[in-house]
C-alpha cells in the first residue's frame, strides 16, 4: 500500500508539469520563432534582424514569465558568423522591451562573432536567472568572450562584461635558470614557471647558455584572453559560477602554461575563488 502511494504521488507532478509546458508552448511558439525576422520600432533592429534563440522564463524576478530573445543579422542563413546581435526581453508584466547591447566601441550596434544561443542560470544567488551569452571571436590569442546580463527588477545591466573578460593578468619575463617570473596585479600573486622541459631547445636557439644564463634580452610572457569558458557549480549549491581557461604565452610565440580559474559572484563583484596553472614536464 505504501509503495502504491509513492508511485501515485510521483506521477501527479510529472503530468501537471507536462501540461503546463504544452499549453505555454502553443501560446508562445506563434510569437517568437527561431529563424524568423524580428523587428520592433524603437529597438536596435532592422529588416535583416532575425531571431537566433528564444527562451521563455522569468528574468525580471516578478514570477511572471518573460520572452527572452537573442536577435541579430547574418549574411547568409547558414552562416556561423553573426553581427548586430542583441538580447531583448519582453517583460511579461508590462509587454515593454528591455535590451542589452554590446558596449564595444567597434561594434556599437551589438555583439559580433560566432554566436548561437543564450543560456539562463542564477549566478548571483538571488533565485532570479541571469542571461549568459557566449561570443566566439575566432581569434588566435583569445577564444570566447562571456557576457552575463541581469534584467532583475526590469533594470538591464551587464554583470560580467568586457573588464571581466580580460581574465587574470599575469605578465613578466624569462629569467636565468630556464624560468619565467610573472606577476598578476589582479590576484596580487607572483609565480615562477619552470621552463626546463625546453632546456635543450633554448640552448640550441641561443636563448640560454648551458649554464642557464639568459641570453635573449627581451623574452617576455603574458596571459592571453579566455580560450574556454564553462558554467560550473563550484559549491554544488545551485548558484552557478564560471570556470575559465587562459594560456600563458611567451614572446617569441610559445605556450608556457595553462591557467584555469573559477569566478564566483559575491557582494556585487566577481571573485576568483580558485586558480591553478600547469607546468610542462616534457615538451618536445
260 binds Ca ion (CB under 5 A): no
Find the shortest distance in angstroms from Cβ 128 to Ca ion: 4
Q: How many whole angstroms separate alpha carbon 131 and alpha carbon 147?
A: 8
Q: How many whole angstroms separate alpha carbon 69 and alpha carbon 88?
A: 5
Find the shortest distance in angstroms from Cβ 60 to Ca ion: 4
Q: How many whole angstroms separate alpha carbon 68 and alpha carbon 52?
A: 11
Q: How many whole angstroms separate alpha carbon 171 and alpha carbon 38?
A: 44
Site for Ca ion in 32-51 (CB under 5 A): none
84 binds Ca ion (CB under 5 A): no
Selected range binding Ca ion among 91-99, 141-149, 207-215, 269-277, rule: CB under 5 A: 91-99
Pick 128 or 242: Cβ nearer Ca ion: 128
Choose which of 40, 43, 120, 122 interacts with Ca ion (CB under 5 A): 122
Q: How many whole angstroms separate alpha carbon 85 and alpha carbon 112?
A: 6
171 binds Ca ion (CB under 5 A): no
126 binds Ca ion (CB under 5 A): yes
- The number of residues that bind Ca ion (CB under 5 A) is 10
Find the shortest distance in angstroms from Cβ 89 to Ca ion: 8
Choose which of 66, 67, 84, 241 interacts with Ca ion (CB under 5 A): 66
148 binds Ca ion (CB under 5 A): no
Q: How many CA atoms lie within 13 A of 107 on its CB side?
A: 18
The separation between the first and the last C-alpha atoms of the chain, rounded to the nearest angstrom, is 68
Rg (CA), the chain: 24
Q: Is 261 helix (H, G, I), strand (E, B) or coil?
A: strand
Selected range binding Ca ion among 12-20, 36-44, 60-68, 210-218, rule: CB under 5 A: 60-68
Closest CA to 243 of 268, 272, 269: 272
Whether 111 and 147 have beta carbons less than 8 Å apart is answered as yes
58 binds Ca ion (CB under 5 A): yes
Give residues in contact with Ca ion (CB under 5 A).
58, 60, 62, 64, 66, 92, 122, 124, 126, 128
Amino acid at each position: 500500500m505504501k509503495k502504491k502511494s509513492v508511485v501515485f504521488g510521483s506521477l501527479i507532478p510529472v503530468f501537471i508539469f507536462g501540461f503546463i509546458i504544452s499549453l505555454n508552448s502553443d501560446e508562445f511558439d506563434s510569437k517568437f520563432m527561431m529563424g524568423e525576422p524580428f523587428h520592433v520600432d524603437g529597438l536596435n533592429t532592422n529588416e535583416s534582424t532575425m531571431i537566433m534563440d528564444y527562451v521563455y522564463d522569468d528574468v525580471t524576478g516578478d514570477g511572471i514569465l518573460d520572452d527572452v530573445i537573442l536577435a541579430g543579422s547574418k549574411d547568409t542563413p547558414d552562416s556561423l558568423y553573426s553581427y548586430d546581435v542583441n538580447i531583448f526581453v519582453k517583460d511579461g508584466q508590462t509587454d515593454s522591451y528591455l535590451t542589452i547591447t554590446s558596449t564595444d566601441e567597434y561594434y556599437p550596434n551589438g555583439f559580433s562573432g560566432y554566436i548561437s544561443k543564450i543560456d539562463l542560470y542564477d549566478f548571483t544567488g538571488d533565485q532570479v536567472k541571469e542571461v549568459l551569452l557566449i561570443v566566439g571571436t575566432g581569434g588566435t590569442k583569445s577564444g570566447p568572450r562571456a557576457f552575463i546580463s541581469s534584467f532583475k527588477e526590469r533594470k538591464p545591466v551587464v554583470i560580467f562584461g568586457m573588464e571581466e573578460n580580460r581574465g587574470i593578468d599575469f605578465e613578466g619575463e624569462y629569467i636565468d635558470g630556464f624560468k619565467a617570473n610573472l606577476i598578476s596585479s589582479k590576484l596580487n600573486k607572483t609565480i615562477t614557471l619552470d621552463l626546463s622541459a625546453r632546456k635543450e631547445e633554448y640552448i640550441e636557439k641561443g636563448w640560454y647558455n648551458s649554464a642557464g644564463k639568459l641570453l635573449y634580452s627581451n623574452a617576455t610572457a603574458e596571459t592571453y584572453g579566455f580560450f574556454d569558458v564553462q558554467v560550473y557549480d563550484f559549491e554544488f549549491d545551485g548558484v552557478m559560477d564560471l570556470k575559465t581557461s587562459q594560456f600563458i604565452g611567451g614572446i617569441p610565440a610559445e605556450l608556457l602554461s595553462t591557467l584555469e580559474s573559477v569566478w564566483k559572484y559575491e557582494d556585487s563583484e566577481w571573485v576568483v575563488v580558485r586558480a591553478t596553472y600547469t607546468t610542462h614536464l616534457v615538451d618536445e
